[in-house]
Chain A
Amino acid sequence: MILFALLLIPFSFLMLSLLIKKAGIKQRLALLFATFNFLWALALVPAVKFREIIVVQMGSWSAPYGISLVADRFSVLMLVVAAFVFFLTTIYSTQSVDKARRKNGHFFFSFGILMGVNGSFMAGDLFNLYVWFEVMLMSSFILVSLGGERQQLEGSVKYLILNLISSLFFVAGIGLLYGKLGSLNLADLSLKMASASDNLALLNPALILIFVGFSIKGALFPFFFWLPASYHTPPPAVTALFAGLLTKVGIYSLIRFYTLFLYYDHGFWNPVVLWAGGLSMVIGVIAASSQYDFRKILSFHIISQVGYVVVALGFFTVAGLTAALFFLVHNMLAKTNAFLVAGWVHRERGTLNLKVLGDLFNKSPIWGILFFISAFSLAGLPPLSGFFGKYLVLKAGIEADQVFITLVALFVGFFTLFSMVKIWMEVFWKKAPENIAQLAPVELKPANWMLFSSVVMALAIVAMGLWAAPIVEYCQLAAEDLLTPSKYIDYVLGYH
């Protein structure tokens, strides 16, 4: 029940919002349910401390046959951060998203995303993971195209086709894996794979299909093209939500998969993961440096930072996985906040082209500082969360004797700094360009709620840097759990 509620909360909002016509009430209801979801996810933290892995068998059918919902420390961490990001973007979108969109189902479909995300973080079997992916994707397809502007439609065609192909890869992989092992439950599959250890190579085609599916969802090299082609088209609040949640679900599944299945054939998969991560890191950051659109730069940086997480996963030590989890959390917060600031810039100036923007620091120093915090956290400036994220990744890399890729990660950090400084200089610091006709200043209502959510997010980033120790400790426990899959198996199959 305790886990089921995380699906029930978004679902009941979906049902209730169909009954309500007034946009204002719908909005309040959305805020209420988002808060509720966050509090419930937070309540799982002490629960998981007490019971280590919470397993709920839906309808009381026992594990390999029924549907299991599983939450270990890693899932709970992701659930809490996702709920936090969702809560703040909901507050933010009450002011940032225009009225027509809010009335026509912006909140409805963002709760659809929340439901899919919560479901995939807890899914205990492969097919349910696929179904939750689809719930999330369907809602995200509609959110990308909601409003129907030309640019949005173009972006959503690309987003839609490539993500559908990724789902097809994933389902085909599930089919092949089921054909070979005869199970869908993650724990049961892992157990069966352990006993089939002499012909693991036969399973690799299925696993490769699933890996490709996850890499498209997580925007890893060479499957990232949909992301920068579509993320800058919807309203900024939607992009912030996507940046915080969607690719991270792909990465979550990859980490879960690696620790349960792929590590049996470590010799084959480890180089694949390291190369995919390393190249994403490099290509993302280099492609970002040639862009002149606020959101496009940030979109390419998503790819690069996803690469860090995957490389840290590829080290496959406790330190490496700790770094991966910490970096993932840091990235969800810092990236979302950077997009929240982009939303404010878009509201003030009506454009996100760096060449036209300028002088926004004088307009509003607070938003300038908010951008400074999130951007330099992404670049890894010491007191902020990104510093510890990068430090942990580099340290884990050196300890795992992967010196080359560690040096690459260090080198990528400089480029990140370059892009962030570029945005900072062009948008906030330089004088507004004179020869370009200024847009007529529209009198806007003060963006108090937008400011509020961005400030809370920035405080979270700072707090994550200042009190990194308890979070790293938690990540380390989660990483130890991930590295002993027998524990997961025992809990899910009820041997414990």
Chain B
Amino acid sequence: MEYIIAIFIGLLYACGVYLILRRSIVKVILGVFVLSNATSLIIFLSGGIQRGGAPFIPEGAETVDPATISDPLPQALILTAIVISLGISAYILALKYRYFDVTGTHDLDQLKNTDQR
């Protein structure tokens, strides 16, 4: 299972990088979304995958063998990362909207005014 997810993450990264290298600003933004999801999956995978092992200590027991439950911490981290990327997505889309309003273009090559010459 780990291998499949690892390959899938690799594919997502490849898509993200491809999209980020495009000229259209919309595709670049989509690329950032894809990359951030791939990154969340990396954190998910880092805790190891345990099928059906909810991180609870059963009633009455004092301890539980850590090998039988999944690690809850990466999931908490992903939750935070997802919330942050949600906020950023909202902002970046608003920025894109305003940018299109002002310049009337999607083309990143038109961003040359502020470049260092």
Q: Given A150-B103, A172-B39, A172-B42, does the pair A228, B84 have CB atoms closer than 8 Å?
A: no
Query: How long is the Cα–Cα vector from A300 to B99 in the complex, in angstroms?
Result: 26
A138→B88 contact, CB < 8 A? yes
Proximity bits, A166-182, B CB within 8 Å = 1, else 0 = 00100110111011000
- The yes or no answer to B69 lying at the interface (CB within 8 A) is no
In-complex Cβ contact of A229 among B32, B48, B98, B115 (8 A): B115
B2 to chain A, nearest CB (A): 11
Chain B 68-103, CB within 8 Å of chain A: the 1/0 string?
A: 000001100100110010011001100100110011
Interchain CA distance A300-B77 in the complex, whole Å: 36
**Beta-carbon contacts of A318-332 to B below 8 Å, as 1s and 0s?**
000000000000000
Interface string of B97-111 (1 = CB under 8 A from A): 011001100001001
A178–B88 CA distance with the chains assembled, in angstroms: 24
The 10 closest A-B CB pairs, nearest first, are A179-B46, A175-B43, A175-B46, A175-B42, A154-B114, A153-B99, A154-B111, A172-B39, A168-B39, A155-B114
Residues of B near A184 (CB, < 8 A) are 73
Contact pick for A141, options B32, B35, B91, B103, CB 8 Å:
B91
A134–B84 CB distance below 8 A: yes
Give min CB distance, B55 to chain A, whole Å: 14
Task: Provide the bound-state CA to CA distance between A233 and B102, in Å.
Answer: 15
A406 contacts the other chain (CB 8 A): no
Q: By the criterion CB–CB under 8 Å, are B102 and A153 in contact?
A: yes
Say how far B63's CB is from chain A's closest CB, in angstroms. 16
Q: Is A157 an interface residue (CB 8 A)?
A: yes
Q: How far is it, in angstroms, between the C-alpha of A149 and the C-alpha of B74 when the chains are bound?
A: 40
Least Cβ distance of A319 to chain B in Å?
A: 35
Can you add 9 more A-B contacts, CB < 8 Å, to A157-B25, A296-B116? Answer: A141-B88, A141-B91, A148-B98, A149-B102, A150-B113, A158-B114, A171-B81, A178-B77, A230-B114
**Chain A residues with CB below 8 A from B39, complex form:** 168, 171-172, 175
Inter-chain CA distance A27–B97, complex, in Å, is 30
Tell me, rounded to whole Å, the shortest Cβ–Cβ distance linking B3 to chain A: 15
Report B85 CB to chain A, min CB distance, Å.
Answer: 9
Chain B residues near A233 (CB-CB < 8 A): 114
Q: Which of the listed residues B81, B98, B114 has the most CB atoms from chain A within 10 Å of its own CB?
A: B114
A263 CB contacts on chain B under 8 angstroms = none
Contact of A179 among B25, B47, B115 (CB under 8 A): B47
Task: Tell me the smallest distance from the CB of B57 to a CB of chain A, in Å.
Answer: 15
Task: Using C-beta atoms within 8 Å of the partner chain, give the interface range for chain B.
Answer: 20 to 34
List chain A residues, Cβ under 8 A from B32. 161, 164-165, 168
Contacts A150-B113, A157-B25 given; indicate if A142 touches B91 (C-beta within 8 A).
yes
Tell me which of A151, A158, A178, A228 contacts B47 (CB under 8 A).
A178
* Closest chain B CB from A237 CB (angstroms): 19
Most buried by A among B39, B80, B108, B115: B39
Interface mask (B22-43 → A, CB under 8 Å = 1, otherwise 0): 0001001000100110010011
In the complex, what distance in Å separates the CA atom of A36 from the CA atom of B22?
A: 47
Pairwise interchain contact B87-A179, C-beta atoms closer than 8 A: no
Residues in chain B near residue A164, CB distance under 8 A: 32, 36, 88, 92
Do A168 and B36 contact each other (CB < 8 Å), given the known contacts A148-B102, A178-B46? yes
The residue in chain B whose Cβ has the minimal distance to the Cβ of A182 is: B71
**Is A232 positioned at the interface, with any CB of B under 8 Å from its CB?**
yes
Q: A148-B102, A171-B81 are in contact. Are A178 and B35 (CB under 8 A)?
A: no
With both beta carbons as reference points, the residue of chain A lying nearest to B42 in the complex is identified as A175
**Residues on B with beta carbons closer than 8 Å to the beta carbon of A134:** 84, 88
A160 at the interface (CB under 8 A from B): yes
What are 16 contact pairs spanning A and B, CB under 8 A? Answer: A127-B80, A138-B87, A138-B88, A141-B95, A151-B114, A153-B103, A154-B103, A158-B114, A161-B28, A168-B39, A171-B39, A171-B43, A172-B39, A175-B43, A175-B45, A175-B74
What separation, in Å, do the CA atoms of A149 and B99 have in the docked complex?
A: 9
| Contact A153:B113 (CB < 8 A) given known A172-B39, A175-B39, A175-B42 | no
Pairwise interchain contact A158-B91, C-beta atoms closer than 8 A = no
Q: Report if A289 contacts B (CB, 8 A).
A: no
A134 to B80, CA, bound (A): 11
Residue of B nearest to A230 (CB): B114
A37 on the B face (CB < 8 A) = no
CB of B36 to closest CB in A, whole Å: 6
Interface residues of A in 168-200 (CB under 8 A from B): 168, 171-172, 174-176, 178-179, 184
Tell whether, in the assembled complex, residue B113 and residue A287 are in contact, meaning their CB atoms are under 8 Å apart: no
Give the residue among A172, A233, A300 with the most B Cβ atoms within 10 A. Answer: A172
Bound Cα distance from A161 to B21, whole angstroms? 11
Q: Which residues of chain A are within 8 angstroms of B91 by Cβ–Cβ distance?
A: 138, 141-142
